[in-house]
Structure 1
Amino acid sequence: MIKIAVDAMGGDFAPEEIVKGVEAARDRYDDLTFLLFGTENQVKPLIQNMDRLTLIGTTEEIEMGEEPVKAMKNKPNSSLVRAAQAVKDGQADAFFSAGNTGAILAASIFIIGRIRGVERPALASAFPCFGGGHDEFVFMDLGANAENKPSHLYQYGILGSFYAESVMGIKNPRVRLLNNGGEEDKGDEVHKAAHQLMKDTDAFNFLGNVESREIMDGTADVVVADGFSGNATLKAIEGTALTMMDQLKQSIKGSGIRGMLGALLLKPALRSLKHKLDFNENGGAVVLGVKAPVVKTHGSAKANAVANSMGQIKRMVQENLVGKTTDFIKENAEQLKVKKSSK
């Protein structure tokens, strides 16, 4: 059995949607068990069936707007901290939360622990694309670190390549650096320096810069970004996709009988497009570089996204992603350190 420690109080719709998602995952996957950490009088009434669920009462919550490290230290009995501690203590195999991103990262680093050789763990996610022979690419960092050094971005290229190859099955993945232009002299000093590090390395297949408008064209298998730019790009794409799908729906409704008939003919194609652009379908973002599987899903995630994230964690544990990552980092220690002086 795989045991997942769940922060039941994290997220905009917690604990209701978190509990619903956990129960859906429990019913979907017969080899998963869950430790739910949360305020007992809020969580317990929501649980329909205690099969393979254990509720552990907590008395504190870390809110979305709190300063991450301070909140983690000041609220040791919060659902987020207790869930991470359960993984550290060997009581669970993985940690899940939809809560405060910074607090999740802080708990991942300071409680669960960083893999030796990784300077800065990052949030990575499989992102949909439309071309290039693959349906998805790896996008990182998505907000774990608002500021990055060139050496961090360089390491993201290595970690992202490993994830793309070992988890997604992409051979010799193409890596690009998110920037405000394709030329290598574009961007601020951090991105110029990072570009040079990536250009000069044999550690991965670097193909240069990529602009945000191009990242879904299938020209890269790994897109590396600093956490601020990555998170802003992610939210811009999510918002645009939601707006366009809503506008398309409204246009069809307002186009009369011909539009409705056309929509019926296009329904399978439109459903496929909606499925691909629905970020709830893909689970959450993975914290790469820590000693246990950690998945953080969107703060506004509903039950379906939570359940899909549990399936994602199940695959990570079964495929021993953390163990393989640790071995990979040991084997490539010199490549990871080669540019360390350029910070």
Structure 2
Amino acid sequence: MESKSSLAPLPEENQNEDQQFDDPKPSSASAFSSKPIRPPTKTSSQMYSPLDWKGYFDQEDDVCIPDSNDVFHVYTAGKEGPVVFCLHGGGYSGLSFAISTRVIKEKARVVAMDLRGHGKSATENEIDMSIETLCSDVQAVVKTMYGDDPPAIVLVGHSMGGSMAVHVAAKKMLPSLAGLVVVDVVEGTAMASLIHMQKILSNRMQYFPTLEKAIEWNVRSGNLRNIESARISIPGTVKYDDAQQCYRHRARLAETEQYWKGWYEGLSDKFLSSPVPKLLLLAGTDRLDRALTIGQMQGKFQMIVVRHTGHAIQEDVPDEFAMLILNFISRNRIGPRGVEIPGIRRPSQPQA
């Protein structure tokens, strides 16, 4: 004989709260008498919604270069200490350094620049991305911001920005340069990859109906592994196309191929000859070429391999990246007057 169950049927998940809890009788004190509240599930659009930079940087500014129509957009933070001047990679933006800035600005100042043809910067010729032009841009921005008495500067460059930082350092273009940090770029690997770059650029998704979809694609494709960082930085790498009524990549990298070789050729020797303390951050051990291997064995620079991260180390593990930068500053006693900054932990032993 069929027996009747004494259990009430569970409410459907799509019922609203009033439908689920419309019993007029007073609630029982029993812990089992009511349905526990289930945490809301985030939709895809919520998970990949853009985040404002204001929670990370202190302000944004346009730096107008005298005697030209070039305007470079910068994000800044911090009030004391040396200036950590950040140069992003090709196709990225200054917002690539947003989360790490939240930590760095407690001990130093940060300037993250949108390079020519990227982010919110506006220049007369966005396709002229020769290494000479890019380096002159950095020099002009520093000169415009700080005049003839710039503070101690630590140049931090990722990928293409790393090659810029090396060239600026090797050419002694910044008189107050006190340190050089290069993030995941070495000459050998970069030169070998150039023949594949056009294919990589053409195979990536070109158009996005919303900013959320652009962020989601960059995370799901593995370009970035940190969703929070992607939600901040990716909006700065795309622009709305009125004709196509969608978003597309801001940087026209495919049109700059003639300059790619100049970014990386001779990079290792220039890095080793730069007359300032140097740190090379790598995402893998297989990326050192012969010149760097010999230089590292001779103690000419500090090298740290950052595990469990992709190419964009500063975005994938921003807190670890920030501490590596601050430890580098402390180790080399870099400050406004070349002295150690109080409160920054110095590493107990050199990291290799």
Do both proteins adopt the same fold according to a TM-score greater than 0.5, normalized to the shorter chain?
A: no
- Give the TM bin, normalised by the shorter chain: under 0.3
Larger radius of gyration: 2
State the TM-score, normalized to the length of structure 2: 0.27
- Structure showing the higher helix proportion among its residues: 1
State the TM-score, normalized to the length of structure 1: 0.27
